[in-house]
Chain A
Amino acid sequence: MPDVIPWRFIVFAIIFAGMLYLQFYLAHRQWRKIKGQQTSEIDVGYVQMEDFLAQSFRRKVKEWLQLPATVTSDRERSILKGRERIRVITGGIEFGAGEQCDDILVVEGNFACGPGCLFAREILVKGNARFGEGAQLQSVAVDGDLVLGADVKVARWLDSTRELTLGANCLVGARVTSGGMIRMGPGAQAGSMFAPQVVSTAWDGSFPSKQTFETAKLPVIAFSEEAVAARESLEAAGFDVKKLIQLGADSWLYKGDLHLLAPLRLMTKLVVKGKCDLPDGFILEADIHADGSLNIGANSVCRGNLISGQHIHLGPGSRFAGLIHADGSVRLGHGTRGFKDDGLVVAYAGEVLEVERDVAIQGKLAAGGRVIVESAEAAEAGNA
């Protein structure tokens, strides 16, 4: 009789049934846990903020300051929050060269530190702050002016409500935001910089007015079925009419590389399915997209958006009033100005955004890689 009982099959069937039951049991148990619980996977109140890291830190500090504190001296009290210690300093404070602090600092006055200091945690300063050469910081929020000396390294972010100055070769891991102005020293690097004014080294202090944005009189090119049919004006301007296809009422597609030699005033939105080179003094009144690189000559004016699937180079002395976006790198030539009357501008590079000397914009410079300001040596070489 025992030989007839298929033990192996029975064992297999039990294990199989057990495994099948187990996965449904776990699923059912999980379902009972989440049933009736409100989903919290996304924040419905989420608002895009440039300074969200600093805002979040300021809110936390506000909460921490309500916790019981231990008075350690007439100018200092400390708050314990779990394993973290928050040092609250009444009035200003000055750290000597090479000093180190491992606590979160809240300074209710001005802050200063000498060269080579190390601050391992976040700092909130209610007055002005100045960090000496070669200091290393985590993150700093300042309710006043913030000045960083040369070669300061910041692991995360910086924020100030007024003017923020990055010394030469400063390195910031993430965002730099300011409610006033950001001055970028030569060789400074960051993830992004956002302020009503962001200027690079050797800025001459000028921002063109609306009048100076007025442009020279150039031949006007606006694509239309009639213009394409007539051909002459477009071919004279350097377009191969056979490559032009109408996308919509106000946009055209150019199949291939576009290399124009003479400056024009282009009024129609254009999508170039290749590389696009525009000469010095070009005027773009509408958006342009190039699948390849987009090179715009010196002293050009771009009122539309500039988009490229590869790289964008905006020639020296150019002005832009829209949005610059490249999947690869972006280079803003010296003397570039970015501004518009009714809002802020942005230049974004998927890889690196290089900023030459004397660049000034109202808005944001950001990169998937880094925003890098031209180094002092490169600037000198450029001047020469």
Chain B
Amino acid sequence: MGVQPGLGKKGKMIVLLLAKFFLGLAIVVLTLYAIRHYVFALCRLALRRPRDFMELTGFSLPRTSVLVPMHNEEAVAADILQALVECDYDRTRLEVLAIDDNSEDRTSAIIDDYAARFSMVKAIHRHEGAGGKAAALQEATRQATGEVLLLFDADYFPGPSLVKQLVAPFSDPQVGSVMGRVVPHNTDKTLLAALLGLERAAGYQVGQQARYNLGLTPQFGGTVGGVRTSALTSVGGWNTESLTEDTDLTFRLVLHGWKVAYVNRAECYEEVPESWPARETQIARWATGHTDCLHRLWPSLLASRSLSLTEKVDALFVLCCYLTAPVLILGWLASLVLFFSPQMHSVPVLSVAMLFVGYQMFGNQATFFELGIAALLDGMNRRVLLMPCNLFNFFASTSAISKALVRFYLRKLWGAGGPPWSKTRRFRTNGKERPFANGSSHAPKLFSQGANGIYTRSGD
């Protein structure tokens, strides 16, 4: 039985060598990530949070600018602006910069309406210059007057206390950026949305919190988070060339000596993709942006004096995470080649294959372990039963990421610029589908703060 009919003896040997190399690479890389999943999940359970920012909420109120970039967001624009004008932050220290980024729908009119009714809302209209979120943020940052910039995507629902919760960590002068927790609200709409709900829970409840507990760098996600204006200026502002300006900023900040804080209780609802094409667009953008950051930042990360060895290793794990998808596919192809090769019965190949099988058990268990821990910590015990279906999400994501990275490297090879920024499709229709049972799309104002600082329920 030959490997490839028509290949010479030398050719067969090269194919087999390559197959062994890729299989070995896949096993090593994926085993390292599996160990990382286990370590994070166990540390999340075992380690105490280093700092409870919730106890500090409301005691430090720096002047804050909330930036909301919007491109064709008529379906959701009014909801986020309404939620922000109803938040319980000191009005004299808060401004909301609503950025209409080349919208072709009613977004501009909605923003103007809010700016006319609420003095704290400022409308910014962009009709020229580079498009994309980072460029919109760059423009808004120039006009912002806050010491702290908070960011929300237009499809988010900030609760009344969220601004206070997110600015609390900035009381520490070494904190350059803060990340809150994202919770999908539409997990009941499709199976994909439910699975992404589990994935987000694992990413935030376990991944981000464990990284913060371990003194590593939680990732600033570009929404439900913020950055200190002076920190942003010190690293040269937003990178308008990056598709994931948030990841790019996270690592530029830590390279400069700033820290990123994570507040698990600063929760905000978001809308996750309900269809596979929307999910593919989103994850392709993340994969391309992340990998692009890796190529630009890895030399500085390795050479950095402000990062410890574990911080450097974790940063590389974060930036390389999307590369695991093509590595996994190569590993599968390599194992197929080896399975049908004459060396199938040889001891080294068999042991490698066994290791690969071992990974399939160990690695998948590790990922599922993290998902399960997150679901249990969130009290979503019954949702753990959905986990077997995550296999579909896993295969679809692996394929989408691999395709995106092939396109990315081909563009790099041909010297073409980066792909254009693509917006994730929204599934909400304003006024037709309200996400909350109270009939409102924004957080209801339940409590008001008295002169003594104590909150009382409105109407009591």
Is A249's CB under 8 angstroms from B233's CB?
yes
Q: Which residues from A are CB-within-8-Å of B257?
A: 245, 247, 253, 271
Interface residues on B, range: 35 or more
The distance from the CB of A182 to the nearest CB of chain B, in whole angstroms, is 12
Cβ distance B321 to chain A, nearest Cβ, rounded Å: 25
Task: Tell me how far the C-beta of A157 lies from the nearest C-beta in chain B, rounded to whole angstroms.
Answer: 14
Q: A323 with B56: in contact, given A31-B386, A34-B188, A38-B437 (CB under 8 Å)?
A: yes
B453 touching A344, Cβ below 8 Å: yes
- Chain A residue with Cβ nearest B168: A323
Q: How far is the CA of A344 from the CA of B389 in the complex (A)?
A: 50
* Separation of A55 and B456 alpha carbons in the complex (Å): 7
Q: Identify which of residues 377-414 in chain B touch chain A, using a CB-to-CB cut-off of 8 Å.
A: 378-380, 382-383, 385-389
B216 contacts A by Cβ under 8 Å: no
Query: B172, A59: Cβ atoms under 8 Å?
Result: no
Report how far A325 CA is from B185 CA in the complex, Å.
34
On whether the beta carbons of B386 and A345 are closer than 8 Å, the reply is no
**Cross-chain contact B188 with A24 (CB below 8 angstroms):** no
Whether, in the assembled complex, A73 has its beta carbon less than 8 Å from a beta carbon of chain B, the answer is no
B161 touching A46 by the CB < 8 A rule? Answer: yes
CB proximity to A under 8 Å, residues B171-223: 171-174, 176, 183-188, 191, 194, 197
CB within 8 Å for A368 and B52 given contacts A44-B436, A48-B57, A49-B447: yes
Would you list which residues of chain B between 243 and 291 have a CB under 8 Å from chain A? 256-258, 267, 269
Asked if residues A322 and B171 are in contact (CB atoms below 8 Å), the reply is yes
How long is the Cα–Cα vector from A59 to B446 in the complex, in angstroms? 13
B172 cross-chain contacts in A, Cβ below 8 A: 287, 289, 305, 307, 325
B59 at interface by CB-CB < 8 Å = yes
Complex CA distance for A90 and B154, rounded to whole angstroms:
53
Q: B21 near A: Cβ within 8 Å?
A: no
Which residues of A, 35-55, contact B by the 8 Å Cβ criterion?
35-39, 41-52, 55
Nearest chain A CB to B53 CB, angstrom units: 9
Residues of B within 8 A of A14 (CB): none
Q: For the complex, is A179 an interface residue (Cβ under 8 Å from B)?
A: yes
B194 touches A34 (CB 8 A): yes
Report yes or no: A196 in contact with B452, Cβ–Cβ below 8 A.
yes
Find the A residue at minimum CB distance from B453.
A344
B-chain residues with CB within 8 Å of residue A286 when the two chains form the complex: 173
Q: Are B59 and A364 in contact (CB under 8 A)?
A: yes
Residues of B within 8 A of A322 (CB): 60, 171
Indicate which residue in B52, B173, B185 contacts A251 across the interface (CB closer than 8 Å): B173
> 1/0 contact trace for A130-164 toward B, CB 8 Å?
00000000000000000000000000000000000
CA distance A270 to B269 in the complex (A): 35
Q: Which residues from chain A contact B161 at a C-beta distance below 8 Å?
A: 46-48
* Residues from 334 to 369 in A contacting B, C-beta threshold 8 Å: 343-346, 348, 350, 363-364, 366, 368
Report A171-206 CB contacts with B as 1/0, cut-off 8 Å: 000000101000000000000101110000000000
Q: Are A33 and B444 in contact (CB under 8 A)?
A: no
Any A CB within 8 A of the CB of B61: yes
Contact A45 B171 (CB under 8 A): no
Q: CB distance B173 to A348 under 8 Å? A: no
**Interface mask (B431-458 → A, CB under 8 Å = 1, otherwise 0):** 0000111000001111100101111110
Nearest residue (CB) in A for B435 is A38
Question: Does A11 sit within 8 A of B, measured CB to CB?
Answer: no
Verify if B51 is at the interface (C-beta below 8 Å from A): yes
Asked whether any CB of chain A lies closer than 8 Å to the CB of B157, the reply is: yes
Q: What are 29 residue pairs bridging A and B, where the CB atoms are less than 8 Å apart in the complex? A: A30-B386, A31-B194, A39-B185, A39-B188, A41-B378, A41-B380, A44-B443, A47-B88, A47-B446, A48-B54, A48-B164, A59-B457, A245-B257, A247-B173, A247-B174, A247-B231, A248-B228, A248-B231, A248-B234, A248-B258, A250-B230, A287-B171, A305-B171, A323-B56, A327-B50, A346-B56, A350-B48, A350-B50, A368-B48
| Beyond known contacts A45-B159, A322-B171: 13 more, CB 8 A cutoff | A27-B388, A34-B188, A34-B194, A39-B186, A44-B269, A47-B447, A48-B164, A49-B447, A248-B176, A249-B234, A271-B173, A325-B172, A366-B55
